[in-house]
Amino acid sequence: MYGRTGKIIAQPGQRDALVKVLLRAAEALGEAEGCYLYVVGQVPDETDMIWITEVWRSAADHRASLDLEAIQALIRDGRPLIASMTESYEVIPVGGKGLP
């Protein structure tokens, strides 16, 4: 398995708009081969911070998802709403509730 977790800082006042785009991406990933988990999280005391957690069958499946037309469109929609992507980690999921 392959995983990613990352912190995104939205442009000031744009977190809710960016969350909507990211949740649309989660829906679009229903069509992606090998996507087990895509979770969008807000940080209560940080009005512009979002965390994304993803689990994939493989890194290749993750890379292939980035070529999907729907995902490319959502990247274009979301990019102007992002101030920075300050932390991103690749992880190896080893198990847990909901994972195969």
The answer to whether the predicted template modeling score (pTM) of the entire model surpasses 0.85 is yes
| pLDDT computed for residue 100 by the predictor | 85
Query: Was domain 2-91 assigned CATH 3.40.1640.10?
Result: no
Axis-axis angle for helices 15-28, 69-78 (nearest 10): 180
pLDDT for 45-84, tens place per residue? Answer: 999 999 999 999 999 999 999 999 999 999 999 999 999 9
For the chain, the structural domain boundaries read 2-91
Number of Cβ within 10 Å of residue 18's Cβ equals 23
